[in-house]
Amino acid sequence: MWIETVGTVGVGLVVLAIWYRKRLEKSFGVHDVTDEIDVHGKVVLITGGNSGLGKECATEMAKRGAVVIIASRDAKLSLQVIQEIQTKIPSANITFMYLDLSSLDSIRNFSEEFQKKFDHINILINNAGVYCPLKRRMKTKDGFEFNFGVNHLGHFLLTNLLLETVKRGSPSRIVVVASTLSEKGRINFDDLLLEKEDPDKSKIHAYGNSKLANIVFAKELSERLVGSGVNVYALCPGWVKTDLARYMQLRWWNYFLIVPAAFLFMRSPGQGVQTILHCALSKKTEDCTGNLYKNCADWNTKSQITGEMAEKLWEASEHLILKSSTKKRME
């Protein structure tokens, strides 16, 4: 009898979970493909375009006839992805260029090589990202805390180096992929690189910090580009099935919590890319520079972002990059 009871309860829970999942998916948001700008022949640069959201975005842009550039540090995977996309879409105009966002030198080299090949960018999608626990003690090649260095400083430098190229493609768009985990972050200007934190004891959400920096950067960039013909957007794609957490060291028992949660809340790359497409392509966002989006709708973040904070982060980011570059030249 008890076996039958357990079985009945189990089946009931599964049915309930499936019902809840289907109900939740209705809130994910879907980009309106009937109301988007024409990107045929337009230059679209996607960082991290060889996997997850970036791969999905590259595929969608290729479908629309855009000239797609995948910027990544994994040449082998990128070329495999390009072959896969071109098999599905024979007309796809898609290429790979090497970029390591954990290296300032690589970013500068990429920018230089890119501008030799392309004189403008119509859509820049800052998609690449890492999620690395502070206790891993990982640093970028320039000695920055890994999350902040790759997710924020890497894209900060890349965007600034390509800014004139983006302006020449106007009306153009810069799309910054952030996260609602930014609401767990805080920007401490006395310790941006978390050097004062004990990695084993710290409660600081390093990834959240970097995503908050992404949003603050996008806000400030939009202010600086007013009247330039370049719109800037930041967004949360939701919790998406990607390799973002590849640097996490999960134990077997962690999966007892993660698997059920993933079944209920995790999105496929196809579902996650919708808000990226909304920001990059929708006519509805043409006059909405500086806005935040989630589920293809406005996102009112709980984070307190001020103009003073945004300007200060911009200056601090410039200082960190300049300081690192000066130090390297002196060595």
CA 169 remoteness from chain centre: 22
What was the pLDDT predicted at 6?
A: 45
Please check whether residue 98 is in contact with residue 107, taking contact to mean a CB–CB distance below 8 angstroms: no
Q: In the prediction, which pLDDT does 260 show? A: 64
Q: Sign (positive/negative) of CA torsion 106, 108, 113, 115?
A: positive
CA angle in degrees (0–180, nearest 5) for 309-291-216:
20
From residue 280, give the alpha-carbon distance in Å to each of 71, 99, 331.
Answer: 17, 22, 42
User: What single-letter amino acid sits at 191?
Assistant: D
318 forms beta bridges with: none
SS3 198: coil
For 34-121, where are the E strands, in sequence order? 43-47, 67-72, 93-98
Q: Which domains does the chain have, with CATH numbers?
A: 40-330 (3.40.50.720)
- Do β-strands 93-98 and 172-177 pair in parallel, antiparallel, or remain unpaired? unpaired
* Helix, strand, coil percentages for the chain (3-state, nearest 5): 50, 15, 35
Question: How far lies 267's CA from each of 174, 182, 218, 270, in Å?
Answer: 24, 19, 24, 8
Q: Can you tell me whether residue 239 is helix, strand or coil? A: coil
Question: Rounded to a whole number, what is the largest CA-CA distance in the chain?
Answer: 78
Predicted pLDDT at 127: 97
Q: What is the mean pLDDT of each run of 10 residues along the chain (331 residues)?
A: 53 63 74 96 97 96 98 97 97 98 98 98 96 88 96 98 98 97 93 89 87 98 97 91 64 58 69 96 95 96 94 98 74 54
> What does the pLDDT read at residue 29?
84
Q: pTM for this structure? A: 0.91
Q: Where do the H-state alpha helices sit in 26-147?
A: 52-63, 75-88, 104-117, 146-147
| CA gap 127, 44 in Å, rounded | 12
Active site residues: 207
Residue 109 class from Cβ within 10 Å (0-12 exposed, 13-18 middle, 19+ buried)?
Answer: middle
Write down the pLDDT at residue 28: 78
Q: Are the C-beta atoms of 291 and 233 separated by less than 8 Å?
A: yes
Tokens 């000066």: give the residue: 326
pLDDT of res. 91: 96
